[in-house]
């Protein structure tokens, strides 16, 4: 069987940094090329500075490295996107088109493109939001993900390009910092707790959002990408769920293990974005089609986050 050769775009980001390591473990260090706009610095495996908006450079990289799969993670996230909507639309859409076109022209075996719970808006069911639901997002980020999902589906149906996608909830991990999302508070809060600092939350105490711990997010991504193509019934993007909690609930979970931790609330423009998103997600299609099942709940995640961050801040 031919060895997979993988190109990751956005490898220096919150998810990319962790996914690169996992893909290198699964496929071999030299078979995973980590690319980003920013120089990723010294790494175990091959790297390249690459702008996903440059289609020619992307095509050349695919040829040069003998690539047969792309994981396209580069995007402008929800909160940053609202500061300059046209820029966010341009980056998110043009980079995706480049990946899809290069993928089609080069005959790539598989492409991964993450979507988000940001595809949903207030018209969608707020609790246990179903897989096939009305999609009227209120952020440019969400609009770009809805459009991206439909283009992924189009390239699959029209050209047979095997594009796969997950609607990630907010992703929480200790290995990397998030970059401009509405769910970022749920990473920041652990850093404040470990540094024994007071945390001021930019969302109100009762704002429930779907979230997922990084090891589960990575397992889901690899699980989807390894699933037999004929098992997949969703070619836009699969709903994915792990846990749901409010800022008050994550603070209480931290306080169980770090009793002195304090929090206050000062909602900003991100509150309106969070209010437009679901509180929980129905991911039964992912569970049925390719056996998805999360492992971490809130308290298990808190224990693991605090443990690893304490080690990081000590060293
Ligand atoms: P991030 O912002 O941390 O990382 C994105 C990376 O893309 C950055 O390293 C950035 O330098 C790079 N990038 C930006 N423009 C680029 C370009 N033109 N060419 C090459 N690289 C470029 O994002 P993340 O949190 O790691 O998210 C990765 C993907 O997952 C995104 O598509 C995002 O929409 C999706 N997602 C993330 C979350 C989450 O909670 N982190 C949730 C839902 C969906
Ligand atoms: C964001 O908050 O923008 C992301 C996401 C849920 O897509 N974390």
Pocket test for ligand 2, best of 75, 81, 116, 129 (most atoms within 8 A of CB): 116
CA angle 164, 170, 174 (to 5 degrees): 105
CA angle 68, 73, 74 (to 5 degrees): 115
Look over the chain and give the mean of its residue pLDDT values, rounded to a whole number: 97
Cα–Cα dist 146/144, whole Å: 6
Q: Are residues 249 and 155 in the same domain?
A: no
Q: Is residue 212 within 8 Å of residue 284, measured between CB atoms?
A: no
> Looking at residue 272, which CATH number applies to its domain?
3.90.25
Does residue 259 surpass a pLDDT of 70? yes
Instruction: Single out the residue of 146, 62, 154 nearest to residue 103, CA to CA.
Output: 62
pLDDT tens column, 213-233: 999 999 999 999 999 999 999
Query: Residue 101: inside a domain, yes or no?
Result: yes
Mean pLDDT of 184-199: 98
- Where does the pLDDT of residue 21 fall: very low under 50, low under 70, confident under 90, or very high at 90 and above? very high
Q: In this structure, which residue's CA is closest to atom 2 in ligand 1? A: 179
Cα–Cα dist 112/16, whole Å: 12
Q: Tell which atom from ligand 1 comes closest to the C-alpha of 170.
A: 40
Mean pLDDT of 185-193: 98
Six-digit token string for 77: 């996230």
Mean pLDDT of 77-84: 98
Q: Are residues 23 and 140 in the same domain?
A: yes
Q: Which of these is catalytic: 71, 112, 141, 168?
A: 141
Give the range of the structural domain holding residue 85, as residue numbers without chain letter.
6-170+212-239
Q: In this structure, which residue's CA is closest to atom 1 in ligand 1? A: 13
243 dihedral zone (left: phi>0; alpha: psi -120 to 50; beta):
beta
Percentage of the chain lying above the pLDDT 90 cut: 97
Instruction: Single out the residue of 224, 290, 220, 239 nearest to residue 119, CA to CA.
Output: 239
Percentage of the chain lying above the pLDDT 70 cut: 99
Does residue 39 surpass a pLDDT of 90? no
Ligand 1: centre distance to CA 274 (Å): 19
Mean pLDDT of 95-119: 98
Query: Residue 290: inside a domain, yes or no?
Result: no
3-state SS class at 36? strand
Q: Tell which atom from ligand 1 comes closest to the C-alpha of 145.
A: 34
pLDDT at residue number 188: 98
Residues enclosing ligand 1, CB less than 6 A?
A: 9-10, 12-16, 36-38, 50-53, 73-75, 77, 91, 95, 114, 116, 168, 170-171, 178-181, 183
Does residue 40 surpass a pLDDT of 80? no
Alpha helices for 107-230 (secondary structure H): 140-159, 185-194, 214-226
Ligand 2: centre distance to CA 184 (Å): 8
Does residue 116 surpass a pLDDT of 90? yes
Q: Are residues 116 and 256 in the same domain?
A: no
What is the total count of domains within the chain? 2
pLDDT at residue number 41: 76
Mean pLDDT of 77-85: 98
Q: Is residue 224 within 8 Å of residue 163, measured between CB atoms?
A: no
Buried-exposed string 272-291: b where 16+ CB fall within 10 A, e elsewhere = ebbbbbbbbbbbebbbebbe
Model pTM score:
0.98
Has 168 been annotated as catalytic? no
Q: Are residues 218 and 202 in the same domain?
A: no
Q: Are residues 118 and 219 in the same domain?
A: yes
Does residue 1 surpass a pLDDT of 70? no
Instruction: Single out the residue of 177, 171, 185 nearest to residue 79, CA to CA.
Output: 185
pLDDT tens column, 138-185: 999 999 999 999 999 999 999 999 999 999 999 999 999 998 999 999
- Where does the pLDDT of residue 300 fall: very low under 50, low under 70, confident under 90, or very high at 90 and above? very high
> Looking at residue 45, which CATH number applies to its domain?
3.40.50.720
The string of DSSP codes covering 44-95 is: SS-EEE--TT-HHHHHHHHHHHT--EEEE-----HHHHHHSHHHHHHHHHHH
- Where does the pLDDT of residue 125 fall: very low under 50, low under 70, confident under 90, or very high at 90 and above? very high
Q: Are residues 118 and 99 in the same domain?
A: yes
Of the ligands numbered here, which is closest to the C-alpha atom of 72? 1
Instruction: Single out the residue of 188, 209, 210 nearest to residue 199, CA to CA.
Output: 188
Does residue 2 surpass a pLDDT of 90? no
Ligand 2: centre distance to CA 144 (Å): 13
Q: Tell which atom from ligand 2 comes closest to the C-alpha of 182.
A: 2
pLDDT at residue number 43: 81
């Amino acid at each position: 069987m031919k060895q997979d050769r993988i190109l990751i775009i956005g490898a220096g980001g919150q998810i990319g940094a962790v996914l690169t390591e996992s893909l290198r473990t699964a496929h071999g260090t030299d078979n995973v090329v980590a690319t980003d706009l920013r120089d990723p610095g010294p790494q175990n495996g091959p790297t390249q500075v690459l702008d996903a908006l440059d289609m020619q450079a992307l095509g050349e990289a695919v040829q040069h490295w003998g690539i047969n799969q792309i994981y396209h993670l580069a995007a402008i996230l929800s909160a940053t996107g609202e500061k300059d909507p046209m820029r966010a639309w341009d980056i998110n859409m043009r980079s995706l088109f480049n990946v899809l076109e290069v993928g089609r022209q080069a005959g790539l075996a598989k492409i991964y493109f993450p979507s988000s719970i940001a595809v949903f808006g207030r018209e969608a069911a707020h609790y246990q939001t179903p897989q096939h639901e009305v999609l009227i997002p209120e952020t440019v980020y969400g609009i770009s993900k809805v459009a991206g999902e439909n283009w992924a589906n189009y390239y699959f149906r029209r050209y047979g390009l095997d594009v796969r996608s997950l609607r990630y909830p907010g992703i929480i991990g200790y290995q990397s910092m998030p970059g401009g999302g509405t769910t970022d508070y749920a990473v920041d809060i652990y850093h404040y707790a470990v540094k024994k600092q007071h945390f001021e939350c930019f969302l109100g105490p009762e704002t429930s959002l779907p979230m997922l711990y990084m090891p589960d997010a990575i397992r889901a991504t690899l699980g989807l990408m390894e699933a037999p193509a004929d098992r997949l019934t969703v070619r836009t993007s699969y709903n994915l769920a792990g846990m749901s909690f409010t800022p008050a609930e994550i603070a209480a979970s931290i306080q169980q293990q770090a009793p002195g931790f304090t929090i206050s609330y000062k909602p900003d423009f991100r509150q309106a974005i969070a209010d437009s998103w679901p509180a929980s997600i129905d991911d039964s299609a992912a569970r049925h089609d390719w056996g998805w099942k999360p492992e971490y709940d809130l308290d298990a995640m808190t224990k693991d986050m605090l443990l690893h961050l304490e080690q990081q801040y000590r060293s």
